Structure 1
Amino acid sequence: MNFEEQILFEDNHIIIINKKSGQIVQGDKTGDVPLVDEVKNYLKNKYNKPGNVFAGLVHRLDRPTSGIVIFAKTSKALSRLTQMLKKREIKKTYWAVIKKKNLPESQRLVHYLKKNEKNNKTIAYNHPFQNAKEAILTYHIIKKSDHYQLLEINLETGRHHQIRAQLSAIECPIKGDLKYGFERSNADGSIHLLARKIEFIHPVKKIKIFLEAPVPQNDNLWKSFQK
Structure 2
Amino acid sequence: MSSKVLSNKDNLQVIYEDNHIIIINKRAGDIVQGDKTGDKPLSDVVKEYIKDKYNKPGNVYLGTVHRLDRPTTGIVVFAKTSKALPRLNKLFASKDISKTYWAIVNNKPPKANDTLINWLKKNPKNNKSYAHTKEIKDSKKAILHYKLIKTLQRYFLLEVNLETGRHHQIRCQLSNIGCIIKGDLKYGAQRSNKDASIHLHARQIQFTHPVSKEAINVIAPLPKDAIWEACSN
* TM class by smaller structure: over 0.9
Structure 1: gaps of 5 or more residues: none
Q: State the percentage of identical aligned residues.
A: 59
Out of 101, 113, 117, which is 1:110 matched to? 117
Which residue number corresponds to residue 122 of structure 1?
Answer: 129
SS for the counterpart of 1:75 is coil
Which residue number corresponds to residue 229 of structure 2?
Answer: 223
Matched, 1:100 2:107: yes
**2:65–2:89 Cα contact (<8 Å) kept:** yes
Matched, 1:76 2:83: yes
**2:100–2:159 Cα contact (<8 Å) kept:** yes
Amino acid at match of 1:106: N
The Cα shift of 1:100 comes to 3.0
Q: Which runs of 4+ in 1 moved over 3 A?
A: 1-5
Give the Cα–Cα distance (whole angstroms) in 2 for the partners of residues 107 and 101 of structure 1.
13
Structure 2: gaps of 5 or more residues: 1-6
Out of 214, 217, 220, which is 1:213 matched to? 220
Give the Cα–Cα distance (whole angstroms) in 2 for the partners of residues 113 and 99 of structure 1.
22
Out of 28, 32, 35, which is 1:28 matched to? 35
Out of 187, 193, 209, which is 2:194 matched to? 187
Give the Cα–Cα distance (whole angstroms) in 1 for the partners of residues 209 and 66 of structure 2.
16
Give the Cα–Cα distance (whole angstroms) in 2 for the partners of residues 168 and 99 of structure 1.
10
Amino acid at match of 1:215: L
Give the Cα–Cα distance (whole angstroms) in 1 for the partners of residues 218 and 109 of structure 2.
31
Matched, 1:45 2:52: yes
When normalised by structure 2's length, the TM-score is 0.94
**2:23–2:76 Cα contact (<8 Å) kept:** yes
Out of 198, 207, 211, which is 1:204 matched to? 211
Amino acid at match of 1:224: A
Query: Residues 118 and 92 from structure 1, CA distance in 2 versus in 1: closer, same or farther, beyond 3 angstroms?
Result: same
Figure out how many residues of one structure are paired with residues of the other and give that number. 226
Matched, 1:165 2:172: yes
**2:205–2:217 Cα contact (<8 Å) kept:** yes
**2:120–2:140 Cα contact (<8 Å) kept:** yes
The Cα shift of 1:44 comes to 1.2
SS for the counterpart of 1:164 is helix
Amino acid at match of 1:153: V
Which residue number corresponds to residue 73 of structure 2?
Answer: 66
